[in-house]
Chains A and B, each alone.
Chain A
Amino acid sequence: MDWGQILNNTASFILSAETIGFMLAAIGLAIHFGYAGLLNFGMAGFMAIGAYGYAISILSFGLPWWAAMGVSVLGAVVFAVVLGIPTLRLRADYLAIVTIAAAEIVRLLFQTQLFDRWTNSADGLGGYHESFRAANPLPAGTYGWGPWYYTDQGWWARVFGLVLVAVAVLVVWLLMRSPWGRVLKGIREDEDAVRSLGKNVFLYKMQALIIGGVMGALGGVVIALPSAVIPQYYLPSLTFFVWTALLLGGAATIFGPVLGAVLYWVLMAFLAGVLPAMANAGYLPMTATQAGNLRFVVVGVALMLLVAFRPQGILGSKKEMTFVK
């Protein structure tokens, strides 16, 4: 086994656009679930709206990259409102069911032939990079160190993503230490109690759904920035991968989602390298491809163990979790 290559590849994932996009989506989910107690199982829908909103705005309507991102954000707000109006008055489990379904509807709408003119249906969209790349302030060339060696455009997409992550972390930190965050946490604990104190619970839940959804959409944009937009990427499994990242780091923590996204992708990349190599070396009784897919099983088991034995995540406080019913 070529350990050098495996480790190098694993480390490079720390700074992949996908990891950074996951950070944003997981931060959004932290607002939903960790702070407001909203069971959003439709994050993939928000990410798809972000990515498609960005790509379509540029390709079909010729908007500049920043305006296209504005469209993504707006799309996420509209999606959150549409989701929230019928479900936020209901019990938490209904939101979970509706969000799964809604995210699938969104994906299928992007995939269907009906809107082929804009979405290119199942083939997805690409070639929308020009506007964003033209705005690159970084010097041309290929540079970096160790496993992180990228072109200037590769760096630009990553740096931009990391700036968004930093802003998102700051916003969440500011929000959650404020009285607004206190109301949100109160709603997570018992919304009737908060209602009895004269707070408009529905409004707070809607605001949380919107903010978290916007972050999910921006995550989708960041992932799409250096690559392409393909409908099959936004399967419900994407939502569950983001959940895994969130729970890994700690749902009700500021940096948990960031750490969780990194760990998730590092683990995935490591297993994607190690398992096929082990199969090739004869340690595993299967083909290299089968071994590669085994990583999803390993991650699934890891998630189950995590939820059973450390439900607060890596950064969460044990004390806080002792009281979960």
Chain B
Amino acid sequence: MSSNEHPAAPSPREPQEDGHRDDAEVTDHTGDFGDDRSSGDTLDVAPTHEVHTSHDLATGPPAPGVGKKDPILVADHISRSFGGIKAVDVEHLEIPRNAITALIGPNGAGKTTLFNLLSGFDQPDSGEWSFNGRSLAGIPAWKAARRGQVRTFQLTKVLQRLTVLESMKLGATGQTGERMLASIFPFLWRAQEKDIEARALELLQKFKLYDKRADYSAALSGGQRKLLEMARALMTDPEFVLLDEPMAGVNPALVQSLLDHVIDLKSEGMTVLFVEHDMHMVRHIADWVVVMAEGRIVAEGPPDVVMSDPAVVDAYLGSHLDQDIGVITGRYDEEGNRIS
């Protein structure tokens, strides 16, 4: 497959001891040990080809709620409270088409809740939003998915007692054999099934799950489940994918090839909105970054602009983002020598 034969990232460094991400340690988790972060080309998770297509997605200067030249999704006044807490309170949000948008923010900022609302898995207290110009408010989740807006879950939902290949095939849309009456006449759907299987196997190869195709999904590791879920979502041929922490728990080498894959999605005309706590990844693949805190959109803009925004640094990134964690904890000096 093409994606695993890409050359390694420029100047690869020692692999991290632990590729596993922990959501609880957001600001500490730079995933990097002692490099200068200002030039972004020294990352082990850097994609291998050019990423950012356009820095000019917005119609005005970067600010929360700024209009986009070609929005695929427009949301207005969306609010959702749990008891006393306003989990989501978004005034206006536009997601640019055919671009990769990152949604970042501290734990509990309301990112997953916003995903749930936009995808129809939860109902807002109030609000309007439209996808491709058609209103999606009050539309059930499965219909939203049919329109081409597919999401994955932060807590992966694998279909335990289906094999990996079966789960993938389930993702394909417009299957004749999924109609009850047609299903009992195999000649009606066998040809389509073959095509679907071929496409599923191809995707499984890209996601390094090909060897697992005959295993039950329950037998996959945590990271493999994330991969399966993302691959399964892509089986629907979506126009707009919402990925909730797609790379959490995926090893660095595979993250790199997945990043390539996500960027390929964009070149195929897809729009991606993803939640991610790993700022390197955000910086590398996102064309646009939306920052949420306490349910609100607090900043928006191209990655470099947003990440130097003092408000964002205060609320989420922390001032040590570009520093070695060893330096922060005082166990290493600036040159990377161990002191304690």
Contacts and interface: CB of A to CB of B under 8 A. Distances in A.
Interface in A179-201: 179-183, 185-186, 188-190, 192-201
Contacts of B182: 180
Nearest to B171: A197
Interface residues of A, number: 34
Contacts of A198: 142-143, 145-146, 150, 173, 236
B159 A189 contact: yes
Interface string B123-150: 0000000000000000011110110001
Contact of B233 (A179, A185, A196, A323): A196
A211 B160 CA distance: 24
Interface stretch (A76-84, A109-117, A170-178): A170-178
Given A178-B186, A189-B159, A193-B158, A199 B180 contact: no
Interface stretch (B49-57, B91-99, B162-170, B257-265): B162-170
A189 B216 CA distance: 12
B63 interface: no
Contacts of A195: 121, 140-142, 145
A322 B145 CA distance: 32
A325 B216 CA distance: 14
A179 B151 contact: no
Contacts of B233: 196-197
B178 A180 contact: yes
Contact of B166 (A171, A182, A252, A323): A182
B189 interface: yes
Contacts of B119: 196
A175 B180 CA distance: 8
B169 A179 contact: yes
A197 B158 contact: no
Interface in A55-108: none
Residue from the set A177, A180, A190, A211 with the largest chain B CB neighbour count within 10 Å: A180
Interface residues of B, number: 44
Contacts of A190: 157-160
A311 to B, nearest CB: 13
B161 interface: yes
B305 interface: no
Contact of B142 (A177, A181, A200): A200
B150 A192 contact: no
A207 B182 CA distance: 13
A207 B184 CA distance: 14
B184 A178 contact: yes
B162 A182 contact: yes
Nearest to A197: B171
B283 interface: no
A319 B146 CA distance: 34
B161 A323 contact: yes
A320 interface: yes
Interface in B46-81: none
Given A175-B184, A190-B159, A323-B219, 9 more contacts: A185-B159, A185-B161, A186-B170, A192-B153, A195-B141, A196-B152, A198-B150, A319-B216, A324-B161
7 contacts: A180-B178, A185-B161, A193-B158, A193-B232, A196-B141, A197-B233, A323-B216
